[in-house]
Amino acid sequence: MKNAILYRRKFASVLMLVALCVATLPLGSTHAQGNPNKPGPLNLQGDKVSEKLRARMRSPNADQERVEVILQVQGKMSGQLNALLNRNGVHIKKEMRQFGMSLVELPVSVIEELSAFTEVAYVSPEEDTHVLGHVSRTVGAGAARAQTYTSVSNLDGTGVGIAVVDSGIFDAHSALLNAAGTSRVVFNKNFVTTETTTDDPYGHGTHVAGLAAGNESTLSGAYRGVAPDAKLIDLRVLDAQGIGKTSYLVAALDWIAANYQTYNIRVVNISLGTPAIESYVNDPACVAVKNLYAKGIVVIAAAGNNGKDVYGRKVYGQIHSPGNSPYVITVGASNSFGTDTRTDDQITTYSSRGPTRSYSRDAAGVKRYDNLMKPDLVAPGNRLISARPASGSYITQSHPELEAYNGPGTADAFYYLSGTSMATPTVSGTVALLLEVNPKLTPGMVKVILQYTATPISGANLLEQGAGQLNVAGAAKLADLARRDLTATTPLGTSLLTGAAPAPQSLLNGVNYTWAQGVTFDYTFGTGIELITKFQDGFRNSSRISNGVLVLSSGFMVKDTTKLTSGINLGLNIMISGGGALGTGTVFRSDLRGSGVLVSDGVLVSDGVLVGDGVLVSDGVLVSDGVLVSDGVLVGDAIFNAGTILIGGDYTACMAP
């Protein structure tokens, strides 16, 4: 899709006010009590009010303006808070009870008083959201199916549920049927309050579903997805133009939290995003995915497609939400150039680079950036062929040139799409295979397995590719070796594998590729065979592997010995891969202290390139050696990035030309 078209659609979304057709719920003391079984307090940080709302509160017409917000409440509302809401004619439009959140319409003038209540954890604006064959061979899915496993004879994702949170799915597509000719889409629900269908009038979700779980019925499996017998759960959050709302996304995630056991939803695919402004600690979508992580659900999210500016120059710091959360596996896009071999693969120019630049403000008003190392890994995302809904979808009508195969029936069409939206479902399908091989894997174990077995792309750095490119065969082999009797109380350092560690390489399409043999932490990377041979604290659902690294106030990074075993080594730099194991390339950026990558005040320091608090982004300033960095600076209602205007808060399917 051409950038100009995408930008025009984003501008159009700002000019159009969409009424939410949901019933107004009565106010009462029972509202927003949350789920008593949800894990722990919210632990949000900084100012309780989103910076975008603060800007609205300062506007000259704030006294007359009403706004829709996402209200996060910890525990039960007090009588005083209910009285405030009733007195000001507040309308509660939707409740996401699993997360203690509500979509609320209220006067802007009430927000300050509302935030003063102890039980109010965070107030953020309702935002617009948009969508952001050869695949099976190049990612190693074919090689994975050729391997033998302990308890699986036909590796295809059978029994595992993948929730596709997107623009809907065309259920009748031939690629989504099982052997009996019945659709593998076992449940549909629409969260777009302005439309009623669960079909895919936009045309993005069907393509995503096919990449994750398309069968081999067409052209001898030319367009087969990664997990061709997995169950699909269709949760529609984007309308016929590919636009949605924050509340649609959070409501879909809330539904998953309440119903995941019914459909064995182990994987959630989010091929959409919005520029990440609020810290992942406060962002409603990020808070929701953290809750899913605690339930043992693996969430896969697109990194975004803002890796370059309008002049083609690289841009860093544009990872999208909820891909900025450490509780999701964030996927960037590689370009396979249509070949099965990986020797010519590169990172696509559009794939968003880290670090994450979402932030909160402390009591002194100083921005505290998350600055997490993202993406986690990459997968092919350029010009991928997958399922196309029946004629009439927005993408089909706007871009007939994307057609790849049309026939013989209306349910047998396929077309090309590109973007991190397309890379993400290949990872989701892979996770379904891993969980079929070993259902006892936790989200933390899945992330380590995917990263440890990834194959680094030569010439790409950690902020572009994470640990490297997806390797389905290596990941499936390692997943099968992991023990099935590990629990939440397993001691740190317990043996993780049932046998000896495998050789760290995979034979893919006749070529041996070396594994990364490491993982990325929040601010650096770690290597060592104990990542896969011994139980780490981050393998529990209540923790995550990145928690094993601490940053002291001086900027020094240390290993938390209560969370990591002693055989894991921390990298001291952001590296450019030479195509071998993680950390064996050349230095891309380093901390001047030589003790870590990202220092504690949220500033990335390096060999003369400043990436951080002092960078002016509104006019596209070129920083030092040509690296452009987005600080996520809010200017009115828009975010300016090197001359390109991105509408503030829009979620979009992560697609690219």
Query: What is the CATH number for 245?
Result: 3.40.50.200
Burial of 442-470, coded b for 16+ CB within 10 Å and e otherwise, reads bbbbbbbbbbbbbbbbeebbbbbbbbbbb
Instruction: Decide which of 326 and 635 is more confident.
Output: 326
Rounded to the nearest integer, the mean pLDDT of the chain is 82
User: Is 573 inside a domain boundary?
Assistant: no
| Catalytic residue check, 485 | no
How many C-beta neighbours within 10 Å does residue 136 have?
26
Question: Do 109 and 189 share a domain, yes or no?
Answer: no
pLDDT in tens, 569-627: 998 888 999 999 999 999 887 643 444 444 444 444 333 333 333 333 333 333 333 34
Q: In the prediction, which pLDDT does 554 show?
A: 64
70-79, 576-585, 643-652 — most confident range: 576-585
H/E run at residue 190: strand 185-190
Of 118-127, 293-302, 612-621, the least confident: 612-621
Question: Which residue spans within 97-173 are E strands per DSSP?
Answer: 101-107, 120-125, 128-130, 161-166
Is 563 part of any domain? no
| pLDDT of 28 | 33
Q: Which of 126, 154, 183 is the last residue of a domain?
A: 126
Is 178 part of any domain? yes
Choosing from 13, 124, 352, 421, which is the catalytic residue?
Answer: 421
Q: Is residue 317 one of the residues assigned to a domain?
A: yes
621: DSSP letter:
P
Active-site annotation holds for 283: no
Confidence of residue 176 (pLDDT cuts 50, 70, 90): very high
DSSP code, position 452: H
In a domain, 306, yes or no: yes
Question: Residue 42: what pLDDT?
Answer: 58
Looking at the fold, whether 427 and 387 belong to one and the same domain comes out as yes
> Residue 355, preceding bond cis, omega within 30 degrees?
yes
pLDDT at residue 635, as a whole number: 27
The crossing angle, in degrees rounded to 10, of helices 443-453 and 420-437 is 110
**Higher model confidence: residue 74 or residue 632?**
74
Alpha helices in 365-485 (DSSP H): 394-398, 420-437, 443-453, 462-465, 472-481
> Both 175 and 297 in a single domain?
yes
Name the least confident of 263-277, 430-444, 498-512, 613-627.
613-627
Same domain, 328 and 182: yes
Q: Check pLDDT > 80 for residue 129.
A: no
Least confident of 61-65, 142-146, 442-446, 571-575: 61-65
195, with CB counted inside 10 A (0-12, 13-18, 19+), is middle
User: Which of residues 94, 126, 158 is at a domain's end?
Assistant: 126
Q: What band does 258 get if pLDDT is binned at 50, 70 and 90?
A: very high
Phi, psi of 142, rounded to the nearest 5 degrees: -65, -45
For residues 414 and 402, give the distance between their C-alpha atoms in angstroms, rounded to a whole number: 9
- The answer on 418 and 280 residing in a single domain is yes
Whether 109 and 63 have beta carbons less than 8 Å apart is answered as yes
What span, in angstroms and rounded, lies between the C-alpha atoms of 125 and 103? 9
Q: Are residues 171 and 204 located together in one domain of the fold?
A: yes
45 belongs to a structural domain: yes
Catalytic residue, from 166, 239, 309, 537: name it: 166
Mean pLDDT, range 326-346, rounded to an integer: 88
Residue 336 lies in a domain: yes
- State the SS3 of 474-508: HHHHHHHHECCCCCCCCCCCCECECCCCCCCEEEE
| 342 and 477 housed in the same domain | yes
Question: Residue 142 is inside which H or E element, if any?
Answer: helix 141-146
Res 363: pLDDT: 85
Average pLDDT score over residue span 532-544: 95
CATH number at residue 17: 3.30.70.80
Q: How many separate domains does the chain show?
A: 2
Same domain, 379 and 413: yes
Task: Pick the most confident of 149-163, 355-369, 378-392, 540-554.
Answer: 149-163
Query: How far apart, in whole angstroms, are the C-alpha atoms of residue 311 and residue 615?
Result: 19
Question: Hunting for tokens 């604290």 — which residue is that?
Answer: 537
Residue 432 vs residue 64, higher pLDDT: 432
- Our answer to whether residue 31 is catalytic in this structure is no
> What pLDDT sits at residue 449?
98
Mean pLDDT of 239-255: 93
Residue 240 shares a structural domain with residue 371: yes
Q: Among 3-12, 84-93, 312-321, 475-484, whose mean pLDDT is lowest? A: 3-12
Whole-angstrom distance, CA of residue 288 vs CA of residue 244: 17
**Structural domain that includes position 330:** 130-490+500-511
Alpha helices in 194-298 (DSSP H): 205-213, 246-259, 284-294
Residues 28 and 110 in one domain: yes
| 45-54, 81-90, 374-383, 618-627: range with highest mean pLDDT | 374-383
Give the separation between CA 489 and CA 509, rounded to whole angstroms: 41
Band (41; pLDDT cuts 50, 70, 90)? low
59 in a domain, yes or no? yes
If DSSP states are collapsed to H, E and C, what string results for 518-571? EEECCCCEEECCHHHHECCHHHCCCCCHHHHEEECCCCCEEECCCCCCCCCEEC
How do residues 463-504 score in pLDDT, each as one tens digit?
A: 999 999 999 999 999 999 999 999 989 999 999 999 999 999
Query: CA separation (Å) from 408 to 175, 310, 395, 397?
Result: 13, 40, 20, 19
Whether the pLDDT of residue 161 is over 90: the answer is: yes
> Which residue in the list 204, 279, 334, 546 is annotated as catalytic?
204
Higher pLDDT, 227 or 559: 227
Last residue within a domain, chosen from 511, 541, 557: 511
Instruction: Grade residue 171 by pLDDT with cuts at 50, 70 and 90.
Output: very high
- pLDDT reported for residue 6: 40
230 & 376 share domain: yes
26-41: average pLDDT? 38
Strands 359-361 and 231-236: unpaired
Tell me: do 505 and 447 sit in the same domain. yes
pLDDT at 552: 72
User: Which pLDDT score, from 0 to 100, does residue 466 have?
Assistant: 97
